[in-house]
Amino acid sequence: MKAILALADGRIFEGTSFGAQGEADGEVVFNTSMTGYQEVLTDPSYYGQMVVMTYPLIGNYGVNSEDFESDRPHLSAFIIKELSTIPSNWRSQGTLHDFLAKHGIIGIQGIDTRALTRHIRNTGAQQAVISTKPTDRQKLVAQANRLPSLEGRDLVKEVTCKEPYEWCEGEWELNNGETFFKSAPRIPSNYFIVAYDFGIKRNILRKLVQAGCRIKVVPASMPAKDVLAMNPSGIFLSNGPGDPAAVKYALKNVKYLVGKIPIFGICLGHQILSLALGARTYKLKFGHHGGNQPVINLKTSRVEITAQNHGFAVDAASLSSDCDITSTNLNDNTIEGIRHKSLPILSIQYHPEASPGPHDSSHLFKEFTELIDTNK
């Protein structure tokens, strides 16, 4: 079926639909990962966004629930060059088309994703509408123009868990042709971590378990006093969607926790922690989304290739003198990590858990536990 992608600035792309039918809207961003579309689809940080994959062929290994980063897809729509209709992988449990249709997500294929990506790089991420209905194109453009920006929007409330839960799965590995998860009893749990769920990815939790942590995940709005009453060894602040400055309740909680307990933040958690320390955040032109972002450690000069997924960043000029900038992005010099000079606080903008992406930065989970050890 024919499908239309209409950008707010009037640019139109024609293709054919897959997955669900109807209309969808959201901010268009591009992801440069060559693999890992399942992880992208189920990453809660993409809530409210339409994702363009720059790799030309998507769907060739189907879908399987073991690779999901949450229990469902969270993006508004999926935009690709070509859909593979016949998956070829022994772990596949179904096709990408059927998966998206089941969850009501519209996909569009057959468009020039290179041209779309270049357009977004030149003009910035913008709102858009995808429709499979016979609709006037200019009406779709007008509809896209009426959509709200992500700035000022609290999207964490849309993806956070409703009730606290414990997590005990470690990293997965292949053994005798089957995928299985290491259970907590096989890994000594020397640290009790409370993880604020702003849209947390499962592989972050697996990495924390692998580092020797026992995890309790709590809703984003849980009062800090209730969290401290659990007597945790440390606090983890997760990734998530939307504008960090709009998540007022999380900012209030983190301000209360600062100085009382070791804290580690990733992505949105890094931004909220920076805001709690007095910094400001701002929206990037088109964000960082993909598995090939170069980050330099300013202390060691070592460069790590990282997985990233964010549309906002911390303003370096606003950062308190109490914090050191530990790493920056070699593409645009934006802040990628901070560490407090006197308090047990560490945060990073990128994703050391990968999924998808490189594993250069997985050592940071151990750095968190070492931070806890030095604070005992």
Through-space distance between the first and last CA atoms of the chain, rounded to whole angstroms: 61
Dist CA 278 CA 140 (whole Å): 41
Q: Contact, 246 vs 152, CB < 8 A?
A: yes
- Spatial neighbors of 52 by CB under 8 A, at least 6 apart, are 28, 29, 30, 31, 79, 80, 113, 116, 117, 120
Alpha-carbon torsion 200, 88, 362, 335, what sign?
negative
Any catalytic annotation for residue 353?
A: yes
Q: Contact, 47 vs 158, CB < 8 A?
A: yes
Vertex 163: Cα angle to 157 and 166 (nearest 5): 120
Bridge-based pairing state of the strands 106-109 and 178-181: unpaired
Q: Contact, 219 vs 156, CB < 8 A?
A: no
Is the preceding peptide bond at 356 cis, omega within 30 degrees of 0? yes
The residue from 267, 270, 288, 336 that is catalytic is 267
Dist CA 137 CA 116 (whole Å): 17
The residue from 97, 270, 289, 351 that is catalytic is 351
At 225, list the tokens: 């006093």
- Spatial neighbors of 161 by CB under 8 A, at least 6 apart, are 197, 217, 218, 219
Any catalytic annotation for residue 97?
A: no
- Edge-to-edge strands of the sheet including 191-197? 165-167, 213-219, 191-197, 234-237, 263-266, 345-348, 335-340, 323-329, 281-297, 303-314
Q: Which residues are catalytic?
A: 267, 351, 353
